[in-house]
Chain A
Amino acid sequence: MKNRLRDALKISRADYTEIRLERSWTSAVAFRGHRLEGANASLDAGGFVRCLNKGYGWGVASFTSVDRLSAMVSRAHEMSLAVRLNEPIALAPVPVREDDVRLDLDGDVRGISLEAKKKLLEGLNDLMLGYDRRVVDTQAAYRDEVTEYWFASSDGTLLYELRPEVTLSAVATAREEGGIERALESIGLRRGWNSVQHHEEEFLTAARRAVELLKAPRVRGGRYPVVLDSKLAGVFVHEAFGHLSEADFVYENPQAREMMRLGRRFGSELLTIGDDGSAAGLRGTLPYDDEGTPTQNTTLIQNGVLVGRLHSRETAARMGESATGNARALSFRHAPIVRMTNTYIASGKGTREDLLSGIELGVYACDALGGQTYLEDFSFTAGYGYMIRKGKIAEMVRDVTLAGNLFHTLDGVDAIAGDFHWNQMGGGCGKGFQVPLPVTEGAPHIRIRDVAIGGDAG
């Protein structure tokens, strides 16, 4: 395959050419209630070519007919020539590498029968269904993937990677007297079959929480001091801050560039945020990004001051900074764009109880069903929450949505606990139709002074 790539690069007439080829084996099992939705395996294969010429823009060809690779190289070159550009696109230099990286398959999922995968998931699904008669519906899903990946560029980089991935997810729906509540749990790992054993607790948790939520009142809307658990704090840093630190948001926009200028204060001394695509053993970790740039740990906010951002080769060159290994593509169907990998809030000091103490009336918001940002404005839906009364966790509440302005909210972070951990969940990040991209988020408990909580009108 490497020789085919070298040959294809040789015939390219473009100034710069890069090629990715992928071959993915996937299997998936899903239950809905007592019923198996399906258990199946698929094979997906295809390639991506991108060309750049002086005086012209990017030309791209993606394809499933891998036998037509050389025709696709010509097509990408032609597409580039269709785009006249006065300002040339430059690419930041990156080290030229030849590398073979075979990640630990941790029990190669391709050697496990569909029957065994179904049996594993059926056991977990039955735990949810058997938990309580009020659990009326479930969705349990298992998915695995092993991908062979090749990358070659006319700069001389030539990479081969073997990448595993496996996810388990649980959704429990409980119903009683017209009330319907759902709870979710998921696990997503860049590993294999061995790592998805013994996850009974997550499935039971989903069932238990869905039932508990039936009795929980809607949170009373208003402004509260809020403590976020690690999962929600992680999603918060990803959604509300991470996307703004992606350089493709600022590099062609002078006003946005000013808003995100390095050196700007974004929060208190307590706050340090980063993105680490090289962190060992995480779902968002890979040795190289999809432009062949080695991944790295990039500090974005150091003690409250903006010090870095995430780059592709193009955005880095444009801004006179270095490529950070954050150009990622969902698959061969897509061009690499600036994306996060494993995004974190660095650990602080103390425990969750330290954060709760001193809060007369507040909300402890846990887990995230989702989040959306409108640049500086964000909204998150917590999976569940509790009222904080006199420094202690009190009754459970449901429909906890948090909304606010990023700058005010980061400024309002007034305590960060020392209980950091990575949350390896399923799902993934979405940007420009490329979803779900495997990412990880990590954080300790954090406290924010004053957050708008939606719910029943206050």
Chain B
Amino acid sequence: MISELLERVHGRTSAADVVLKTDETVSLAFEAGRLKSSSYAQERGVNLRVVVDGRMGFAGSTADDVDALVASAFASASVGEPVVLALPGPEPVPQVLTHYPRAAAASIARLADLGKLVLARLTRDGSQVSVNVERSLGSVRVANSNGADTNYDVSTVSLSAELTRVRGDDVLIVSDHIAGADLPAETELEAMVDWMLQRVDWADRGAEAPSGALPVCFTPSGTSVLLAPLQLAMQGKSVLQGVSPMGDKKGKVVFDSAFTLVDDPLLDGRSGSRPFDDEAVPSRRLPLIDQGRVAGFVYDLETAGRARVAATGHARRSTFGKPQAAYSNLSIAPGALTFPELLAQIRDGLLVDELLGVGQGNVIGGAFSHPVALAYRVINGEVAGRVKDAAVAGTVYELLKRIAGIGKDLRWMGSVGVPAMVLEGVAVTGK
């Protein structure tokens, strides 16, 4: 279908590219302690982009109708914006493992065993446990009018678990998930379960929330409030639109030298890994913040053309939209401290695992103020109990200027890898 599409538009376009994605996913849902449903999902979608008279058009479809797709792409180009697209040619493709035969071959029973193992370890009286296990097998093929035609296969196995405990009107929800291209090792599952149970146990006791400008340890999932503004600010498009606070700071030191943020699509077996992006641009590791210094922004071909920079290989396209720059495997570089050593930095403060409302409001501005969903008081380096009715506030771009400590264990949650971090001077408001 890909070759047919490119042939059909040849001669009528100055550039064209196509991406075809297929996916077959098996998912198992364990609800309230038992396997409840099993699902199979099949998906096949094609996305065509054309440049006609210098204007870009695009169209997508899950139906196999070549004529309709071509007509739709040309209609889109007729009202489209002028673009400069430097389509890649046939280029050497870097090596990265995205497909594990062992994951692809796993039977439903084998996948169910993963869920059962986690379920058995998490199940306790008075709490409900839900577990989802999912295995996707997909393929991506990208070709363009410049001679690029390349493809790869992907496997993804993900497991998510949620434990809910209701006592009267007191509710505790602890959740976690892991994802990668291979079946998770038993040790990885055990580590996830241990960390969930640790958070449940810590919540057995309640603690008063402190107030003031205090040191706060963010768990790996708690760091999402710190990453949210950066994920927007490091987009080349935000820079082009003049809304990124980092836009005019390239090459400048803006954060603590302990802070490094990297996007790396070439890590073996991670869920965001890929040898090339959805525009056939070969993948490469891209430092975004390098030891506190603003080092780079992510671009797809269109935004790179507008910014007159080279594309960074970050295009992602769904069946229906146009390519957009997106991160692959985004991670904060780990530090040197164990988790107890991180907590030991805190005489009186908080351990924050989940906040309510992250991602709402004026995110790119960096200012945040959120009530805690799951947080604990830390006194003299020890967890003293769960705090409720507390809120934390601050400005991410200021807080990252002084980092008290970064954990040495990198936790991958899907395609985002983060260590725990201690920041100073976070505004904590108790009841």
What is A's interface to B at a CB cutoff of 8 Å?
23, 26, 32-33, 35-46, 57-66, 72, 75-76, 79-80, 82-85, 89, 114-115, 118, 136-137, 173, 175, 180-182, 218, 221, 252-253, 255-256, 258-259, 333, 335, 369-381, 399, 401, 403, 405, 407, 452, 454-455, 457-458
Contact = CB atoms under 8 A, between A and B. Distances in A.
B75 A259 contact: no
8 contacts: A32-B241, A62-B40, A258-B166, A335-B37, A370-B360, A376-B171, A379-B370, A399-B361
A255 B112 CA distance: 27
Q: Which 10 residue pairs across A and B have the least CB separation, nearest first?
A: A370-B360, A255-B166, A58-B37, A379-B356, A403-B371, A252-B32, A454-B369, A60-B39, A379-B357, A64-B62
B362 A114 contact: no
Contacts of A333: 41, 43
Contacts of B167: 255
Interface in B88-108: 108
Most chain A C-beta atoms within 10 Å of own C-beta, residue among B322, B393, B427: B393
A38 B76 contact: yes
B319 interface: yes
A35 B108 contact: no
Nearest to B373: A374
Interface string B365-376: 101011101100
Interface in B43-59: 43-45, 56-59
Nearest to B68: A43
B11 interface: no
Contacts of B68: 43
B42 interface: yes
Q: Which secondary structure characterizes the binding site on chain A?
A: strand
Contacts of B80: 36, 38-39
A236 B37 CA distance: 32
Contact of B322 (A38, A65, A335): A38
Interface string B202-246: 000000000000000000000000000000000001000111010
A370 B393 contact: no
Contacts of B171: 374-377
B166 A58 contact: no
Contacts of B427: 457
Contact of A136 (B31, B63, B166, B243): B243
A85 B31 CA distance: 12
Contacts of B357: 370-372, 379-381, 401
Most buried by B among A42, A82, A255: A42
Contacts of A454: 369-371, 391, 393, 429
B62 A114 contact: no
Contact of B369 (A136, A221, A407): A221
A370 B361 contact: yes
B169 A376 contact: yes
Given A82-B38, A374-B356, A399-B361, A42 B59 contact: yes
A45 B388 contact: no
Q: Which of A173, A374, A452 has most chain B Cβ within 10 Å?
A: A374
B318 to A, nearest CB: 10
Contacts of A335: 37, 39
B147 interface: no
B106 to A, nearest CB: 13
A39 B40 contact: no
Contact of B79 (A72, A118, A401): A118
Nearest to A71: B42
Contacts of A371: 357, 360
B78 interface: yes
Given A374-B356, A375-B171, A36 B81 contact: yes
A454 B355 CA distance: 13
Contacts of B393: 221, 454-455, 457
Contacts of A62: 39-42
Contacts of B60: 40, 42
Contact of B43 (A64, A137, A405): A64
Contacts of B58: 38, 40
B319 A379 contact: no
A60 B38 contact: yes
Contacts of B32: 252-253
Contacts of B166: 253, 255-256, 258-259, 375
Contacts of A41: 59, 72, 75-76
B61 interface: yes
A115 B373 contact: no
B384 interface: no
B364 interface: yes
Nearest to A76: B40
A282 B361 CA distance: 27
B307 to A, nearest CB: 13
Contacts of B164: 253, 256
A114 B36 contact: no
A82 B108 contact: yes
B34 A85 contact: yes
Given A255-B126, A401-B370, 18 more contacts: A33-B241, A40-B60, A43-B63, A43-B68, A46-B43, A65-B42, A79-B38, A82-B108, A83-B36, A115-B79, A182-B362, A221-B369, A253-B128, A372-B357, A376-B170, A379-B357, A380-B357, A399-B361
Contacts of A58: 36-39
A373 B241 CA distance: 32
A41 B391 CA distance: 44
A85 B58 CA distance: 47
Contacts of B112: 82
Contacts of A43: 61-63, 65, 68, 72
B35 interface: yes
Nearest to B26: A79
Contacts of B340: none
A379 B371 contact: yes
